Amino acid sequence: MAADLRDPWMVKRAPRGPYALRKPRDYVPVAPGDLVQVDTAEIRPLPGLVYKNFVARDVVSRWDVLEVHSRATA
């Protein structure tokens, strides 16, 4: 009976999954790219001046990528 009272344009959405999934504790990365750590930080060298620091590190090859930008956009 409750379904009869619902508006016809209301569509029930599927529940969202978790934002991120953790790897199992026993997971061992073997090849480069299997596990990449990403970190961000804000740098404020002067009042009113804000930079975004982005760091990505490949755990297997130990390759680091570091970038600093004035805005955090896609």
Mean pLDDT across 39-50: 94
Q: Is residue 36 part of a domain?
A: yes
Whether residue 5 is contained in a domain is answered as no
pLDDT band at 38 (very low <50, low <70, confident <90, very high): very high
Please report the pLDDT score of residue 6 as a whole number.
62
Provide the domain count of the chain: 1
39 within some domain: yes
Structural domain span for residue 70: 32-74
Q: How does residue 31 score in pLDDT terms, banded at 50, 70 and 90?
A: very high
CA nearest 53: which of 68, 39, 36, 73? 68
- Determine the Cα–Cα distance for residues 67 and 53; give it in Å rounded to an integer: 6
Residues 6+ apart with CB under 8 A from 53: 40, 41, 42, 43, 66, 67, 68
